[in-house]
Structure formats: structure tokens, C-alpha cells
Amino acid sequence: MTKPVVLIAEELSPATIEALGPDFDVRSVDGTDRPALLAALADAHAVLVRSATKIDAEALAAAPSLKVVARAGVGLDNVDIKAATAAGVMVVNAPTSNIVSAAELTIGHILSLARHIPAAHASLAAGQWKRSAFTGTELFEKTVGIVGLGRIGALIAARLQAFDMRVVAYDPYVTATRAQQLGVTLLSLDDLLAQVDFLTIHMPKTPETTGMIGIDQLRRMKRTAFVVNVARGGLIDEDALYKALTTGEIAGAGLDVFSTEPPAEGGPARRLLDLPNVVVTPHLGASTEEAQEKAGVSVARSVKLALEGDLVPDAVNVAGGVIDPFVRPGIGLVEKLGQFFSGLAPSALTSLDIEVRGELAAYDVSVYKLAALKGIFSRIVSETVSYVNAPLFAEQRGVETRLIVEAESPLYRNITILRGTLADGSVLTVAGTLAGTRMVPKVVEIDGYDIEVPLEQHHVVMRYADRPGIVAIYGQKLGDADINIAGLQVAPDDAGRALSVLTVDSRVPDALLAEMRDAVGADLFRQIEITED
């Protein structure tokens, strides 16, 4: 019998090959040599890559037998997940392979900044002996602020507590109970910035978090404070950071990631490299022998599982198990509902009910629970979220989840309802369905307001006192900004309020959102971005 072909497109550890075992025809190719890659993919059943090999629609089209693409690492920027899904190809990665390495690099940057280690080394290596020039500061009894208290943030908290540091955190999706378990005090972002001696950021990069640390945030910090980013380039506004570092608004920065990598000549990141109060590394968060070996072994095991037809825990785009064709179309709907839900939630989630009603009650819809959690946590944590690790994120945060299945559905053939209790005591409900023969995913209810809005990429949701002229107000402001309203629905309630859900063609700038909110007097105002893998 012919063995399945596993193509290794980049250099991986010997342990990776060992983990595949003897049941595969393992071949190698230089993934950066495009013609060679396309030729080698012709009879490949699986391909293993790191960051240099691009698996796009062209590569997938050249691989008619391909079943799985495995990225030996966390990021998936070089894999076209949407095209892979359309081709029926599973994409897997190693989402936990680098968390210890990233946490330890963060500690290294903090110590380097506190004790001026790189600058002192360079000075001494140049033949100078300037001890007084490199007087540092102790970590003992200082305050460190962690923005994003996911798995990496939790590891950092534990390690810095060993230095007898006070650890505070900002994470709107973490409950006070979870923070207490970690020995961390939750604060608002403004309060945290004002108190910390060291700030480290561990958030996912989304439209909402890009530039989240800008000039206003840096000005709130102590002039003696340091900021560290080993998570994602662009979370800190690099122009604002340069200004803060050169005017003395903060003391220094440690950076492993940049908005453009490598930093381009003349770009905002490039200027930072020349500053004496900046410690930089070339995106080394996962660059340890242990992390690379963990990543390779992890994806090799996933490839074996995929080619043997078993459940793959780290599948990014395919839910495990046998899924009925009648159930499968709703997976994407529920995942988008999860994103919509997290975009509306004003505080951390404490419990979640996933209600599936209608004809789907006759089928196994357990995958919808996984899809809902994946959608919710993909907008919350910095790590890659899969259908299998999403429940682990919920468990870590103390979120109780239930799947409720009922045949009764008076208004829709099928409807899925996400009903969550939040840390502030409120309850948030979002419902959706697939509409018509084209099975268009739509939101059909938000907190009791009946609407019917297709789930698109850009939405603005607002609630306000219902009165004439409101649509004209925000319509005029968006028009003046050359932002097109592609869809709009207004739903009034019996208390004299109305909910407006807008679909717009592009993201609305934050300043304009603030203008719109003030102009209409909204008590609920959210911009929601829906992304697709």
C-alpha cells in the first residue's frame, strides 16, 4: 500500500520527523522556491511549514490530494485559511508551543530595562568602565501592569510575583474571581497606567486593540515607567512611543515586535531602534530550541491524527468528529454570533447558554457550543483559538457553559441564541439564523429587540431615546466622513428607546464614533468587527 506523502517545506527539528513515525512517505522541499514547492505539492497529503512558506490559493490548487496544512508555530499569516477551508483542507498550528518562551522573553526585557544590561554590555565591550552611567532600579516592591491576562499574562504574573512585585492587570474579559486566583488586582486601563512602573502588553491584534497604547495612554504613565511589547506589532502606536521616549514622558521601552517587520528605513519603527532607552529584539518570542521543538512535535502529531481520520485538537478551521451536512452550515453562523456577542459585552463573561432551537434539535449540534466559544474568545485572547481549546479558555476564566437544544422554534425554522451573564450582573442575548435558500447568516435579536441584519464585516450598534431625526444625525456624520451605510435597521421598544444596527463599508474612526455617540445620546454604543478565518 502506498504511504501518504508528508511534505516538509522548511527546516524542522529531528524530533518532528520522529513524531511522524514510519507510516508516511516524508519528503523535503525548499518552500521559498515557489516552482519547486508547487511541483512537490502535486501528490502531497500534508505539508508542514514555518513562517517562510506561503500556502495560498495557488498552492492549494496545486495540491489535489492535500488534507492538512500544519504550521509549526503560532501565527498563521502565511496560510490562507479561508481558501483552505473552501478546499476542504484542515489547517493546524501549535498554539501553546511558545507561551513559556514568550513569557520568559518578557521577563528578560523587563530586567534588561531595569538594569540597562544591553547598554552596559556595549559600553564595557567598547573598553569603557562607566558604572555610574548604568545605575538601575530593583523590581522588588515595584508595580507591574499586565494588559491581557491570558495564558502568557498569567505565566508572567506568576514569575514576577517571585520578585515580590505587585501585579495589576487590565483585561475586560477576565472576572475578579479568576484574577484573585492568579493573585492579581484588576484595574481600569487608566488606573493601571497611572500606577505601574512596568507595563507589558499581551492582547490579540484586532481593529479595536491596534494602537491601544497611544499618546494619551503614555502620558498617563510615570516618567520613570517602562513599557514592554512582545505580543503583536502595532498594539503600541510607534509614533506616539517615539515621542514619549524622546521627550521623557516614559523612561524606556522593550520591543520584540513591530508594525512592519523588519522595520523599514524611514518608518516609525526604525527610529525606535536608534534610541538609547530602547531594548529591541527581532521577534524572538518563539525563538527557543524548546519552543521550536514543541511546535514541530505538536503539528506532527496533528498531521498523524488528521491523516488517520481522528479528532485533531489544534485544528483551526475544522471541528472534530463527524458533523451532519445539515448541521455544518451553521458552524460559521454561530462563530460569527460569538464575535458579535463579545463585541457587545460591556464586562467579563461568567456563564453562557447556547440555545439551539428548531429542526436542528434532531441532530448532534455539540459543535455549536465549540463554535460559539471560539468566536467569543478569538476576540479576547492573544493566543490562536481552536474548536478544541476554546472550552479551556472558558474553564480558565471560570465561565460556565451549557448547550440547550429544543425543537420548539415559533418564528424561525432554526435559531441559535447566545445568552450570557456578565460580571456586572447584566444578561446579554444575541440570536441568529441562516436565512433563505442562500443560507445568509443573520442576527435576528439583540437583548429582546427584533431585527434581521446580515452578519457582515463592519457593524455599529447603538441604543438611544427614540425621537425624530436620529438617523439623519448619524447618517450625516458618516456621509461627511465618506463612509457608506450598506444596511440599517431600527427597532423600537415599549420604553421609548430604539436600537439601531448599521452595516458600514469600512471601519469607523474612534473619534467619529465618539461624536456619533454624543450626538445621539446613546447609552449603548459599540463598533463590532467580524472576521473570517
Per-residue pLDDT tens digits for 180-200: 999 999 999 999 999 999 999
% of the chain residues with pLDDT over 70:
98
Q: Which three three-digit cell numbers place residue 508?
A: 469607523
- Count of Cβ atoms closer than 10 Å to residue 487 Cβ: 12
Q: What is the reported pTM? A: 0.74
pLDDT band at 329 (very low <50, low <70, confident <90, very high): confident
pLDDT in tens, 336-395: 999 999 999 988 899 999 999 999 999 989 889 988 999 999 888 877 777 767 887 888
pLDDT at 251 over 70: yes
Query: Which three-class secondary structure state does DSSP give residue 68?
Result: strand
* Whether the Cβ atoms of residue 151 and residue 385 lie closer than 8 Å to each other: no
**Encoded amino acid at 493, one letter:** D
Q: Is 105 exposed, middle or buried (0-12, 13-18, 19+ CB in 10 A)?
A: buried
Element (H, E) at 351: strand 349-358
pLDDT band at 46 (very low <50, low <70, confident <90, very high): very high
| 410-430 mean pLDDT | 94
User: What residues are annotated to the active site?
Assistant: 232, 261, 283
Residue 54's contacts (CB-CB under 8 Å, 6 or more residues apart) are 31, 78
User: What's the mean pLDDT in 397-423?
Assistant: 93
The per-residue pLDDT for range 65-118, each reduced to its tens digit, is 998 999 998 778 899 988 887 787 889 888 788 899 999 999 999 999 999 999
Is the confidence at residue 460, as pLDDT, over 60?
yes
Separation between Cα atoms, residue 417 and residue 415, nearest integer Å: 7
* 15 neighbors 296 (Cβ within 8 angstroms): yes
Which pLDDT value is given to residue 318? Answer: 61
Give percent of the chain with pLDDT exceeding 90. Answer: 68
- Cβ atoms of 442 and 435 within 8 Å: the answer is yes
Angle at which helices 99-115 and 117-125 cross, to 10°: 60
Residue 37: in which H helix or E strand, if any? Answer: helix 34-40
Residue 511: which H helix or E strand, with range?
helix 510-520
pLDDT of residue 1: 61
Three-state DSSP class for residue 19: helix
Rounded to an integer, the average pLDDT of 140-164 is 95
Q: How far out from the chain centre does Cα 142 lie?
A: 29
Q: Is pLDDT above 70 for 533?
A: no
pLDDT at 321 over 60: no
Helix residue ranges, H only, 212-359 = 215-219, 238-246, 268-272, 289-307, 329-344
Which grid cell sits at 96?
501553546
pLDDT at position 174: 87
User: For 447-459, what is the mean pLDDT?
Assistant: 94
Grouping H, G, I as helix, E, B as strand and the rest as coil, residue 450 is strand
pLDDT for res 250: 97
Give the pLDDT score at 319: 55
Q: How confident is the model at residue 165 (pLDDT cuts 50, 70, 90)?
A: very high
Q: Is the pLDDT of residue 320 over 60?
A: no
Of 309 and 427, more confident = 427
The per-residue pLDDT for 89 is 86
pLDDT > 80? residue 280: yes
H-helix or E-strand spanning residue 185 = strand 185-186
Confidence of residue 205 (pLDDT cuts 50, 70, 90): confident
In three-state secondary structure terms, 143 is: strand
133-142, 252-261, 320-329, 395-404, range with the lowest pLDDT: 320-329
Comparing 509 with 313, which gets the higher pLDDT?
Answer: 509
Prior bond of 263 cis (ω within 30°) = no
pLDDT of residue 489 exceeding 90, the answer is yes
Nearest to 274 by CA among 260, 259, 253: 253
What is the structure's pLDDT at 322? Answer: 56
The residues near 215 (Cβ < 8 Å, ≥ 6 apart) are 237, 240, 243, 244
CB 519: neighbour CB atoms within 10 A?
14
Place of cell 454624543: 518
